Structure 1
């Protein structure tokens, strides 16, 4: 069985991913302004996906929010049991708690509805195992990994010097604002919150999370799961918004295609052409020496940084 590969925190990637899973009329938007007015402008918001640098915490550290161990079958919550799956797991933490089957708003499609029903009575640990072992979910997730024939994500484990990043979800469920983090023991409650209150009640929670880091830390990413804006635009005859959203999706489709494409063959042909040209000009040796010096310089700079980025 193949493993799970790292995918990017990107609105186009996440939108296409959920569509490939069978979800209808859902889109992701990057949140650039933590203000209630900005969030209300893109409503309805089903939840937010937050990416941050993961820092191992001390068991005695105070947790923001309150563990809700009694949530049980009323909430879909799964523990993370495998590396690199947390992006899709965070997305599903919102989707499977907002499905029409749970009196929510989203048509999640037959496959995810069946998965939710199958795992409904499972404890969080077993739900996490079921998610990790789902061929459909894993294959769709991996289809959005960048093509890189020189790196095997299944064998290259993160080390202590690597920056590890983690995804979690925030969403209102049954009148409560929940933080759903597969690395926690249970959902974390942040108090009473309905769908209309979510845009302004989630902001202080996110600000507290960001406030745990030094002021110089800026490597965060926040994506909102929203209703496809084209639906509302078509209802009111806003053709300009419809065209703008269509153009955005065409750009996303192109970018996603580039992510999946392997350019090794193309690069090989280009390199052969350059070598042929340099040899004909009598500058092959000089060009090769310069290339070696430049590569040595880049390797030294990378060694000085001493860090690669990995998703938890």
Structure 2
């Protein structure tokens, strides 16, 4: 298993990264300054994905294990949308890239031009979630782009031997709110949503993550949304 330098939760760096990967300049990554309705109202629209960065704590790992056992049978039998693009994460510290892939790949109206991401999505279309994760690990061009952008944050990410934070993405696919986490065995359905309520519905789930770790303050929420002029 290879190890990448972790991405920083810096909207400018992440926006530069997705543009380098081929995503249209019409889209950018922006901070979500708060999860209450009035603060969510400041987000540029449309919002296509919500990205949560959170600490991998004992409370989270306990919840993840319990959730896996609870939904295992149902998840194996559940019929996800055929074009739901989900991938496992097998590369250490690649969670930021995986979350961005999940965010873009599951929104067909986000234009992706020729480049590393388009190539990856085309090759990965017919692969399983596990095979997609393995393909990312073996993708030299993706690795190079990730490593280059990871050096542009405000902190020296390579100085941290152990990264305890993790990125995941929330998307609206066929009016269902999906949590896409490469460390989980399946996509997690959080019930019905809509274009109008997606941001609030995703924010509600983010609040649940925070409620499980009431003493923890190291949460960051970002959005993939229309670029502001």
Q: TM-score, normalised by structure 2?
A: 0.84
| Matched residue, 2:37 | 36
Question: Take 2:49 and 2:110, find their aligned partners in 1: how far apart are those partners?
Answer: 12
Matches within 5 A, 1:87-102: 87-98=96-107
* Counterpart-to-counterpart distance in 2, 1:206 and 1:153: 28
Report the counterpart of residue 76 of structure 1 in structure 2: 85
Partner of 1:213: 213
Give, in whole Å, the separation in 1 of the partners of 2:119 and 2:7: 25
1:122 counterpart residue number: 127
Q: Unpaired segments of 5 or more residues in structure 1?
A: 99-103, 231-312
Q: How does 1:171-210 map to 2 (within 5 A)?
A: 171-210=171-210
Once residues 37 and 199 of structure 1 are traced to their aligned partners in structure 2, the CA distance between those partners, rounded to angstroms, is: 12
- CA RMSD after TM alignment: 2.7
In structure 2, what is the Cα distance between the partners aligned to 1:34 and 1:127? 32
Aligned to 1:144: 149
Task: Assess if the C-alpha contact under 8 Å between 1:47 and 1:170 holds in 2.
Answer: yes
Shift of the 143–60 alpha-carbon distance from structure 1 to 2, 3 Å rule, reads closer
Q: Among 49, 52, 75, which residue is 1:50 paired with?
A: 52
Structure 2, gaps ≥5 residues long: none
- Number of positions where the alignment pairs a residue of Structure 1 with one of Structure 2: 216
Instruction: Give yes or no for contact 1:79–1:127 (8 Å, CA) kept in 2.
Output: yes
Task: Work out which structure has the larger RCO, using CA pairs closer than 8 Å and 6 or more positions apart in sequence.
Answer: 2
SS in 2 for 1:211: helix
Larger Rg: 1
**Residue pair 1:54, 1:166 contacting (<8 A) in 2 also:** yes
Q: Contact 1:48–1:170 at 8 Å: present in 2 too? A: yes
> Offset of 1:3 from its aligned partner?
4.4
**Contact map agreement 1:73 1:120 (CA 8 A) in 2:** no
Distance 2:75 2:196 in 1: 23
Judged with a 3 Å threshold, the aligned counterparts in structure 2 of structure 1 residues 222 and 60 are, in CA distance, closer, same or farther, namely closer
CA contact (8 A) 2:48 2:171 kept: yes
Cα pair 2:180 2:187 within 8 Å, conserved: yes
Could you state the TM-score of these two structures normalised by the residue count of structure 1?
0.63
* Counterpart position of 2:169: 169
Q: Which has the higher helix share?
A: 1
Q: Relative to structure 1, is the Cα distance of residues 80 and 30 closer, same or farther in structure 2, using a 3 angstrom cutoff?
A: same
